[in-house]
Amino acid sequence: PATERAEFDRRIAGVLPEGFAAVVPDAKQRLLDKPLNVATRKASQIALESLTAALPEMIGGSADLTHSNLTRVPAVDSDFTPDYSGRYVSYGVR
């Protein structure tokens, strides 16, 4: 369909999604408004949640410490599948 083609062309051209320019400033403002005292890995997860929700071409992954290093976020919470719909790569045991 035309919408899928337009999305494909956008990604190939390296054009960020509409509204993406506001994602990082908005996330920073939320943290300034309500500072968090969290571990670095939790802060990373918070950043990943904002970025992956707004950037559908962004994928992630981790080895066996996925749940410890907090790299699996809702927007990418599916492994790669035969139809390539997943956005998370499980690298296996280190």
Confidence of residue 47 (pLDDT cuts 50, 70, 90): very high
Instruction: Give the pLDDT of residue 87.
Output: 85
pLDDT score recorded for residue 61? 84
What span, in angstroms and rounded, lies between the C-alpha atoms of 48 and 43?
9
Is 70 exceeded by the pLDDT of residue 29? yes
Domain ranges across the chain: 19-92
**Is the four-CA dihedral 32, 72, 75, 12 of positive or negative sign?**
positive
Residue 94 has pLDDT above 70, yes or no: no
The pTM score is 0.78
Is the pLDDT at 82 greater than 80? The verdict is no
